[in-house]
Chain A
Amino acid sequence: MPTAAPLSRINDFVVRFANVNGSGSASANEMFARAIMRMGIPVAPRNIFPSNIQGLPTWYEVRVSEDGHLGARGGTDLMVAMNPQTFDKDIATIEPGGYLLYDSTKPYPASKFRDDITVIGVPLTAICNREYTDPRQRQLFKNIIYIGVLTALIDMDVAVVETLIAEQYKGKDKLIAPNVKALHIGRDYAILNLAHPIGLKLHQADKVGDKIFVEGNSAAALGAVYGGATVCAWYPITPSSSLADAFTKHCAKLRVDPVTKKAKYAIVQAEDELASIGMVIGAAWNGARSFTATSGPGISLMQEFIGLAYFAEIPAVIFNVQRAGPSTGMPTRTQQCDLISCAYASHGDTKHIMVFPENPAEAFEMGAQAFDLADRLQTPVFVMLDLEIGMNHHLTRPFTWDDTKVYDRGKVMTYEDLEAGKDFGRYLDVDGDGIPYRTYPGTHPTKGSFFTRGTSRDRYAKYTEEGAPYVDNMQRLLRKFETAKDIVPKPLIANAAKPTKYGVLYFGSTAPAMDEAIHMIEGRGHTIDRMRLRGFPFHSSVNSFVADHDFIFVVEQNRDAQMRSLIVNECGIDPVRLVPILHFDGTPITARFIAKAIGDHLDQMTMKPAKVAS
């Protein structure tokens, strides 16, 4: 018997699979997560993988939470340890009272295990060797067999898994029966030989509703389709490649002319990020909605072109699926570390638009909206995703679209406008919002042509190096940035039940952990107001939110408190009032981490001096 009481929980635990990269475990593990969702129980899977094709360790974590807490929690309640390389470390991460499922074909000395966990051995390799002769089958079916074992251990509805197998191999029907057989080999072994169920159990629930299960990159790419993007130029880089892949897949289904079978889109895999952003800018200059998808190193390479697009005022949409930097950093780990490199990308005085989706639903919405913003503001727009949102499946509200919506193509002068004699100055601020009118190439035989350049120019696009027109233009660009404050997605506020002196600012993939942490912080007797930032430049409500509180915690996933720097810089706020809460080890931020960091801080702030007896 373990020295700690075995954990006993229903619909609220974390299972972690430790596998070897390239062993085919990913699809089996994903099926496990999907089955829980189909049982009506909210689930959050995370794929923790190396920058490698085969051989290095990989993990798949599944958080089960009937309460709908979908951020990373930290810790493991049930470890499915299938990788001898990481066996010792994996066992060390199990919570006291937790469970270990391992392949007991080769006996391990007792010293390998802990005495405060429940150890469950299944001779998986021996079973596979007995059942299968083909080495590849032995490997692949081992994954399904351990899922079968788990169905018995945690009371998973086996019919749901069978349905999923049938769906997965639809069209390759020959594979259905052997997979179902493997599932039952594992399940039957567990029923005959193991104490089951264990303390961690699933119960059918109805907490999923109409939610969908999708990766952020796929959602963002679908947003680009709905947002009217026709040109995509990209260069492969983790973790953004799957966004371009998804766009390709969506377009093949949704954007092919039914009669001519011709493509209403153009996708080019460029030679590098310099070329991909160049193509995006060329296409947008010519009036097509265009985008690229990249990550931090790509942003570094694109700096020169981004400055050109800012100064020459050309729309461009850049999906930045952030990963841990600097340099190559940790290419398969998540961070929010490109805020400053995007906000002020390129040499000279520049400022750029950013939006911060919290999950795939917002990645879809903002992925579409980014094209309206770019056209309206005639400037680059960064959609700031990260690996956590982009490459993991998330349970998220369904996508919605308003069919009455038309695209906002911004201020574009047409042939008719020019014929009517409207004064066209490419950099003329007609409306006082800092946004000038543009014309597409080829509009009119004698009117409306202009020269686009990265050099200084006057209001009529004529080259000049004189100071006054340069300053005039740079000031107008600032006015345009002011205009942007009311156009980008506004922050969302959630006030505590009673007035408080403390607030917290957060954004992007931190949202689910923050939402969960707030309950834990309240549990420690503190109240705190929340504001989730969704766009840059900051809306005026950010200034008032900070002004309304004594101290603001700024929670972010980078070392240098980059969002805090942006707030200090753009809102002119005393840095002392902004307390950084920083998580940057490459794993997704957890509610436990936030609650402890903020809770400890508030404990100190609210500590009363001990009374001294007189």
Chain B
Amino acid sequence: MTYLAKPKFHHPGLPKNELGYTHRDYEGTVSTLCAGCGHDSITGAIIQACFELAIEPHRVAKISGIGCSSKTPTYFLGNSHGFNSVHGRMPSVLTGANLANRDLIYLGVSGDGDSASIGLGQFAHCLRRGVNMTYIVENNGVYGLTKGQFSATADRGSKSKRGVTNTDNSIDMVAMALQLGATFVARSFSGDKEQLVPIIKAAIAHQGAAFIDVISPCVAFNNHLGSTKSFDFVREHNEAVNRLDFISTRMPIGLQQEPGTVEIVEQHDGSKLALRKLDADYEVHDRAAALGFLQHHAAKGQIVTGLLFVEKEAQDLHAHLGTVEAPLNKLEVKELCPGSAVLDQINAGLR
């Protein structure tokens, strides 16, 4: 029913968060994606995460590229500024925006067509710079808007809806993110909101480059037998290494901890991640081991999900550049312009 405007009516009994906002205050306009699209579930997870974190909606800047996934920022956080930029270039626009105002929360939304092909360079470089952001790739292995061509994350040997077999190797963006130095790396599944929502919350709280690859089946073009990005395939091959509970700085830790099974990871902002290990061997702070684990399981056709890597003492680009605490876009002429007396000295030095 995409042609119908959303009703403005709120049920008076809707639960409110600490700021007094309801779930509805974090929504955007009605989605124009296909009914059942995995991307809409991710939109729902983002709304849920922001509601639960009690973020002021206008303190988020949501930035995307071009494609189905990049359309979704219209469907959440209607009171945030959004920027639907050009294909594959969300990372550079987000980097610039972040440099201008370090006080906002940056949410980058992209797809596999956007980030794994034309945008692969920008994907790589924003991660290696450590831009403080949450970078979500809504990964369906296919170009939806142009009617079902393979994307670069489609697995070799998988079949398109028209029956064509993909002969190219796939790009694993999680493996790349690990290699490139992202300080928070996770993979999840749009069909598993319980896993996804806390991961998004933890990523938003993370003060560095957080990357989340979300497998998100395309119901129109990539949900058939022979696809490795279909709901059925992902459910069957999902190998979750851990489950996460996010504990914000404002919440007391009330979890029952079973020794040996729950690890508490404290992030730079004071928030805590309670990690329940599902795979006893998995070590979430070991970048090299994570890479090996991923490749080992990928060879067996398994899709590893969960929080795959987190660096406790993450640093961001502003720390690397040594910028002032005040957002650069708030600085006025008196703080920026050295004035005529200094200019006279400069002139004198040029004679």
* Given known contacts A266-B321, A287-B329, A443-B58, A222 and B346 CB-to-CB distance under 8 angstroms: yes
In the bound complex, residues from chain B placing their C-beta under 8 Å from that of A401 are 337, 339-340, 343
* Minimum C-beta distance from A402 to chain B (A): 7
Interface residues of B in 116-157 (CB under 8 A from A): 121-122, 124-125, 129
A400 within 8 Å of B by Cβ?
yes
Contact of B323 among A211, A233, A266, A282 (CB under 8 A): A266
Query: When A and B form their complex, what is the total count of cross-chain residue pairs whose Cβ atoms lie within 8 Å?
Result: 223
Q: Is the CB of B343 within 8 A of A226?
A: yes
Interface residues of A in 240-274 (CB under 8 A from B): 254-255, 257, 260-268, 270-272, 274
A424 within 8 Å of B by Cβ?
no
Chain A: CB-nearest residue to B78: A449
Contact of B100 among A214, A287, A451 (CB under 8 A): A287
A290 within 8 Å of B by Cβ?
yes
**CA gap between A455 and B346 in the complex, in Å:** 46
* Given known contacts A212-B350, A270-B125, A453 and B84 CB-to-CB distance under 8 angstroms: yes
Q: Is the CB of A262 within 8 A of B325?
A: yes
Q: Is the CB of A441 within 8 A of B323?
A: no
**CA gap between A260 and B331 in the complex, in Å:** 15
A450 within 8 Å of B by Cβ?
yes
Interface residues of B in 59-108 (CB under 8 A from A): 59, 61, 63, 73-74, 78-86, 89, 91-101, 103-104
Contact of B328 among A208, A264, A276, A285 (CB under 8 A): A264
A452 within 8 Å of B by Cβ?
yes
* Given known contacts A278-B93, A442-B81, A266 and B99 CB-to-CB distance under 8 angstroms: yes
In the bound complex, residues from chain B placing their C-beta under 8 Å from that of A254 are 338, 342
Contact of B322 among A213, A263, A443, A449 (CB under 8 A): A263
Contact of A449 among B81, B100, B324, B333 (CB under 8 A): B81
Contact of A279 among B92, B328, B332 (CB under 8 A): B92
Q: Is the CB of A275 within 8 A of B339?
A: no
Interface residues of A in 389-443 (CB under 8 A from B): 398-403, 405-407, 439-443
Chain A: CB-nearest residue to B342: A254
Chain B: CB-nearest residue to A275: B92
**CA gap between A306 and B203 in the complex, in Å:** 32
A304 within 8 Å of B by Cβ?
yes
B18 within 8 Å of A by Cβ?
no
Chain B: CB-nearest residue to A271: B125
Interface centre among B86, B129, B328, by most chain A C-beta atoms within 10 angstroms, is B328
A50 within 8 Å of B by Cβ?
no
In the bound complex, residues from chain A placing their C-beta under 8 Å from that of B338 are 225-226, 254-255
Kindly supply a per-residue 1/0 record for chain A positions 64-90, scoring 1 wherever the CB is within 8 Å of any chain B CB and 0 otherwise: 000000000000000000000000000
Q: Is the CB of A442 within 8 A of B58?
A: yes
In the bound complex, residues from chain A placing their C-beta under 8 Å from that of B342 are 254
B14 within 8 Å of A by Cβ?
no
Q: Is the CB of B89 within 8 A of A231?
A: no
Interface residues of B in 158-191 (CB under 8 A from A): none
A445 within 8 Å of B by Cβ?
yes
**CA gap between A14 and B342 in the complex, in Å:** 35
Q: How many residues of B contact A (CB 8 A)?
A: 60
Q: Is the CB of A406 within 8 A of B333?
A: yes
A464 within 8 Å of B by Cβ?
no
Q: Is the CB of B101 within 8 A of A455?
A: no
B347 within 8 Å of A by Cβ?
yes
A193 within 8 Å of B by Cβ?
no
Q: Is the CB of A270 within 8 A of B336?
A: no
In the bound complex, residues from chain B placing their C-beta under 8 Å from that of A439 are 81
* Given known contacts A264-B335, A441-B104, A454-B84, A283 and B56 CB-to-CB distance under 8 angstroms: no
* Given known contacts A286-B97, A445-B57, A304 and B86 CB-to-CB distance under 8 angstroms: yes
B351 within 8 Å of A by Cβ?
yes
* Minimum C-beta distance from A167 to chain B (A): 10
A305 within 8 Å of B by Cβ?
yes
A217 within 8 Å of B by Cβ?
no
**CA gap between A455 and B81 in the complex, in Å:** 16
* Minimum C-beta distance from B218 to chain A (A): 21
Q: Is the CB of B340 within 8 A of A282?
A: no
Q: Is the CB of A282 within 8 A of B79?
A: no
In the bound complex, residues from chain A placing their C-beta under 8 Å from that of B74 are 451, 463
**CA gap between A437 and B131 in the complex, in Å:** 29
**CA gap between A285 and B321 in the complex, in Å:** 21
A446 within 8 Å of B by Cβ?
yes
Chain A: CB-nearest residue to B58: A445
In the bound complex, residues from chain A placing their C-beta under 8 Å from that of B103 are 442
A521 within 8 Å of B by Cβ?
no
In the bound complex, residues from chain B placing their C-beta under 8 Å from that of A264 are 323-324, 328, 331, 335-336
* Minimum C-beta distance from A54 to chain B (A): 29
**CA gap between A210 and B322 in the complex, in Å:** 37
In the bound complex, residues from chain A placing their C-beta under 8 Å from that of B104 are 286, 441-442
**CA gap between A211 and B96 in the complex, in Å:** 38
Interface residues of A in 269-305 (CB under 8 A from B): 270-272, 274-288, 290, 304-305
* Given known contacts A283-B100, A308-B85, A268 and B79 CB-to-CB distance under 8 angstroms: no
Contact of B97 among A225, A283, A443, A450 (CB under 8 A): A283
A230 within 8 Å of B by Cβ?
yes
**CA gap between A265 and B338 in the complex, in Å:** 13
Chain B: CB-nearest residue to A34: B351
Q: Is the CB of A279 within 8 A of B58?
A: no
In the bound complex, residues from chain A placing their C-beta under 8 Å from that of B73 are 451
**7 residue pairs, one from A and one from B, having the closest CB atoms:** A282-B96, A278-B92, A288-B100, A441-B81, A279-B96, A287-B329, A282-B93
Show 17 residue pairs from A and B whose CB-CB distance is below 8 angstroms, ordered by the A residue: A226-B338, A264-B331, A268-B129, A270-B92, A274-B92, A278-B95, A278-B96, A282-B93, A283-B328, A285-B83, A286-B97, A287-B101, A288-B100, A398-B347, A440-B329, A451-B84, A454-B84
Q: Apart from A230-B328, A230-B329, A275-B92, what are 4 other A-B pairs with CB-CB below 8 Å?
A: A265-B328, A274-B89, A281-B85, A442-B103
B interface, CB within 8 angstroms of A? 56-59, 61, 63, 73-74, 78-86, 89, 91-101, 103-104, 121-122, 124-125, 129, 317-318, 321-325, 328-329, 331-333, 335-340, 342-343, 346-347, 350-351
A interface, CB within 8 angstroms of B? 37, 208, 210-214, 222, 225-226, 228, 230-231, 233, 254-255, 257, 260-268, 270-272, 274-288, 290, 304-305, 308, 398-403, 405-407, 439-446, 449-455, 463
